Amino acid sequence: MPKLKTHKGAQSRFHITGSGKIMRTKGGKSHLRRRKSSRSKRLFDETIPLHPHDRIRVRRLLPYGVK
């Protein structure tokens, strides 16, 4: 069976923890940040786990990264 290709866009947007969770960063952090409060800007820096429904789709894009 041939090797599966990793989707490079998904590889840069998601990372896999040691326990197998897929983590993502929050959107909306690239511009228009000056008017946002300091608290909301700090919340953009966190990574949060992917929703279970999206996990099924991302698992297909990252064949070797997910347990």
Mean pLDDT of the region 35-56 = 92
The total domain count for the chain is: 1
Q: pTM for the complete prediction? A: 0.77
First to last CA, the chain: 19
The CB-based long-range contact list for 17-20 (8 Å cut-off, 24+ gap) reads: 20/66, 20/67
pLDDT band at 30; cut points 50, 70, 90: confident
CATH number for the domain harbouring residue 18:
4.10.410.60
CB of 24 within 8 A of CB of 48? yes
pLDDT averaged over every residue in the chain: 90
Mean pLDDT of the region 28-51 = 90
Least confident of 26-30, 39-43, 53-57: 26-30
The CA distances from residue 27 to 20, 43, 45, in Å, are 22, 11, 10
Instruction: Answer yes or no: is pLDDT of 29 > 90.
Output: no
Find the domain containing 17 and state its range. Answer: 1-26+35-67
